[in-house]
Amino acid sequence: MLFHVTITVRMPHEVDPNKVKQLRERERERAADLQPQGKCLHLWRVAGKSANVSIFDVESPAELHEVLESLPLYPYMDVEVAALCRHPGLIRATD
């Protein structure tokens, strides 16, 4: 099932820059893992913000929570989740 996830990263300025760099690298690796597994169907960055929008395809809310909690930057994330359905106006399922 599909979920629309908006993630805003709020990194406190006191966090050590090296730690931030490491966290961001590990975050990128984790995101790269999730894509071939088909968990993360889409991923976009919002222009001008430390935020992204993604579409997750998971078995359950529990799996969604597990995936999000596994992200290295999770402790610094503000996450908004919306459950999605197929739109009746869609002429051809693309996801």
- Residues near a second copy (CB under 8 A): 1-5, 11-15, 27-28, 31-32, 35-36, 41-49, 52-53, 55, 60-62, 64-65, 68, 75-76, 79-92, 94-95
Work out how close the CB of 7 gets to a second copy at its nearest, in angstroms, rounded to a whole number: 9
Written as one letter, the residue type at 36 is P
Q: Which is nearer to a second copy, 22 or 35 (CB)?
A: 35
Work out how close the CB of 95 gets to a second copy at its nearest, in angstroms, rounded to a whole number: 7
First to last CA, the chain: 10
Written as one letter, the residue type at 63 is E
The answer for residues whose C-beta is within 8 angstroms of residue 20's C-beta and 6 or more apart is: 11
